[in-house]
Amino acid sequence: MSGLIFHLIPHTHWDREWYLPRAAFQARLVPALDDLLERLQADPGYRSFLLDGQTVLVADYLSARPDRKAEVKALVKTGRLQVGPWYVLADELIPSGEALVRNLLLGAADAERLGGRLDVLYSPDAFGHPAVWPTLAREFGIRAGVVWRGLGGEPGQERDLYRWRGPDGRDALVWHLPPAGYEIGAALPADGDRLPAAWAAVRAGLVGRAAGKHIAVFVGADHHAAHPDVARLRDLLAEVEPQSAFRVSRLDEFFQTAADGANPAPLAGELRWSYRYAWTLQGVHATRAPLKRRSSAAELFLERFAEPLAALARRGGGGGTGGGRDRRPLLELAWRTLVRCQFHDAIAGCASDPSPGARATTLRGPWTPGSRAWRPSRARWCAAACSTWCATIPMRCVIARPTRSTRSCSGIPPPGRGVA
Ligand SMILES: [Zn+2]
CA of 420 to the centre of ligand 1 (A): 47
CA of 124 to the centre of ligand 1 (A): 8
CA of 346 to the centre of ligand 1 (A): 10
CA of 404 to the centre of ligand 1 (A): 33
CA of 165 to the centre of ligand 1 (A): 25
Q: What pLDDT does 59 receive?
A: 98
CA of 22 to the centre of ligand 1 (A): 13
CA of 67 to the centre of ligand 1 (A): 28
CA of 182 to the centre of ligand 1 (A): 10
CA of 311 to the centre of ligand 1 (A): 35
CA of 370 to the centre of ligand 1 (A): 33
CA of 13 to the centre of ligand 1 (A): 7
How buried is 106 (Cβ within 10 angstroms: 0-12 exposed, 13-18 middle, 19+ buried)? buried
CA of 123 to the centre of ligand 1 (A): 10
CA of 344 to the centre of ligand 1 (A): 7
CA of 294 to the centre of ligand 1 (A): 22
Q: What pLDDT does 320 receive?
A: 47
CA of 70 to the centre of ligand 1 (A): 28
Radius of gyration from C-alpha coordinates of the chain = 24
CA of 235 to the centre of ligand 1 (A): 30
CA of 395 to the centre of ligand 1 (A): 51
pLDDT in tens, 353-402: 777 677 777 776 655 555 555 555 555 655 555 555 445 555 445 555 55
How buried is 390 (Cβ within 10 angstroms: 0-12 exposed, 13-18 middle, 19+ buried)? middle
> 287-389 belongs to which CATH class?
mainly alpha
Cα-to-chain-centroid distance, residue 331: 19
DSSP per position, 39-72? HHHH-TTS--EE-TTBTHHHHHHHHH-GGGHHHH
Q: Are 83 and 336 in contact (CB under 8 A)?
A: no
CA of 414 to the centre of ligand 1 (A): 56
CA of 286 to the centre of ligand 1 (A): 18
Fold held by 5-283: 7-stranded beta/alpha barrel (3.20.110)
Cα distance between residue 29 and residue 37, in whole Å: 12
pLDDT per 10-residue tile (average), the chain, 420 residues: 90 94 94 98 95 98 98 98 98 97 98 98 97 98 98 95 98 98 97 97 97 98 96 97 97 97 96 93 90 90 84 65 69 92 91 74 62 56 54 52 57 43
CA of 343 to the centre of ligand 1 (A): 9
Q: Are 1 and 210 in contact (CB under 8 A)?
A: yes
Q: Any idea where the domains of the chain sit in the sequence?
A: 5-283, 287-389
CA of 74 to the centre of ligand 1 (A): 27
pLDDT in tens, 191-223: 999 999 999 999 999 999 999 999 999 999 999
CA of 302 to the centre of ligand 1 (A): 27
CA of 41 to the centre of ligand 1 (A): 28
φ, ψ at 114 (rounded to 5°): -85, -20
Cα distance between residue 283 and residue 299, in whole Å: 22
Q: What pLDDT does 417 receive?
A: 43
CA of 73 to the centre of ligand 1 (A): 25
Q: Are 148 and 281 in contact (CB under 8 A)?
A: no
CA-to-CA separations, 4 to 95, 215, 217, in angstroms, rounded: 39, 7, 12
